[in-house]
Amino acid sequence: MEEETKRRARRRPGTAAVTMADVAQVAGVSAQTVSRVLRDPAGCTPETRERVEAAIRSTRYVQNLAASHLASNRSMTVAAVIPQIAASVFAETLQGLSNVLLQAGYQVIIGHSDYSHEREEDVVRSLLGRRPDAFFLVGTRHTDAVREMLQRAAIPVVETWAWTRKPIDQLVGFSNHEAIAAAVAYVQRRGYARPVFVAAARPGDDRARERLEGYVSGMARHYAGQPARTVVMEDLPYTMGSGRVLLDAARTQFPDSDVLLFSSDLLASGALLACQRQGIAVPRQLAIVGFGDYEVGRELNPGLTTVAVPTVRMGEEAARMLVQRLRGEPVAARRRDLGFELIERGSA
């Protein structure tokens, strides 16, 4: 009987012709059990899950998600809106998010705002039309329309990569402000006398702006009476090449600077490599501090001193909070501060 079911499934044109009943017959379970494995694999025993998954593979069954979603009023998707797809740090956070959501039976739909609040508004509106079960957002500053749309949708939302006292719904992140203030305290303890904050901050890059504010605050706290010197360019792309441009601008504008605090490891790494090409000894002539703990910064020589943030864990914790809400389980805290860590290497 099992072989006959497999042959019948293979003969039928199109994957939709293979039914859940066919899978159940091959697996030796009920159609309800197959449905439960598809809907909540973590809630089934490993033996049952393996039998059903083997039957799905052998029959080449493809679930009719449209019908399933109509019946359950669930799309089993989470919409994620990030500033930039190409940025490795956001990719790491999405990886953590996806790892947990996939285990719970959810898929991730990705949209990107390109650091524009107006574009984020358009992306959120478009994704809401696909009826996701929850939203994941990078950042805590949004237009009023975004907040209203998400609150009206009445679905779980989690914001990340920043900190605020008034999130839309839930928050998993850290304070960019305090992270850079801690970096200022570090360079002051190390004896650097003339720090400069360096950034490529596009108009919608709120996290870079928060780091700038943290630098100004840190300077007032640890370098009292000294002006907060900054080099901030809005029209540069987030590339290592921009780090070289910013290095040249900082040394032209502040030739006596002895340490540069960059808003991103990508920029700091580009600047460090440019120093080597220009014969500038790091850190003896000029120290460099980054932000993010990117892989490239760890591999440079000297290694990049930086502020490390929990990129993967942010995604994992956000996913766990969303899954708990979607399952109707209690969430211990709606706001979770994961903190940061200053990593001392050879560049400062």
Where are the alpha helices (H) located in the chain, listed in sequence order? 2-11, 20-27, 31-39, 46-59, 65-72, 88-103, 117-128, 144-153, 176-189, 206-222, 240-253, 265-278, 295-299, 311-326
Exposed / middle / buried, residue 196 (Cβ in 10 Å: 0-12, 13-18, 19+): buried
Confidence of residue 217 (pLDDT cuts 50, 70, 90): very high
**pLDDT tens by residue, 314-335:** 999 999 999 999 999 988 899 9
Exposed / middle / buried, residue 333 (Cβ in 10 Å: 0-12, 13-18, 19+): exposed
Q: Which of 275, 30, 66, 321 is nearest to 171 (CA)?
A: 321
pLDDT tens digit sequence for 271-294: 999 999 999 999 999 999 999 999
What is the residue whose two structure tokens read 């600047």? 271
Confidence of residue 12 (pLDDT cuts 50, 70, 90): very low
- pLDDT averaged over the chain? 91
| Confidence class for position 248, pLDDT limits 50, 70, 90 | very high
| CA dihedral for 273, 275, 281, 287, sign (positive or negative) | negative
Work out the pLDDT band at 336, boundaries 50, 70, 90.
very high
Q: Do residues 305 and 347 make contact, with C-beta atoms less than 8 angstroms apart?
A: yes
What pLDDT score does 60 carry?
A: 86
Which two tokens mark 50? 């393996």
- Can you give the three-state secondary structure of 233-266, one letter per residue? ECCCCCCHHHHHHHHHHHHHHCCCCCEEEECCHH
Amino acid identity, residue 27? A
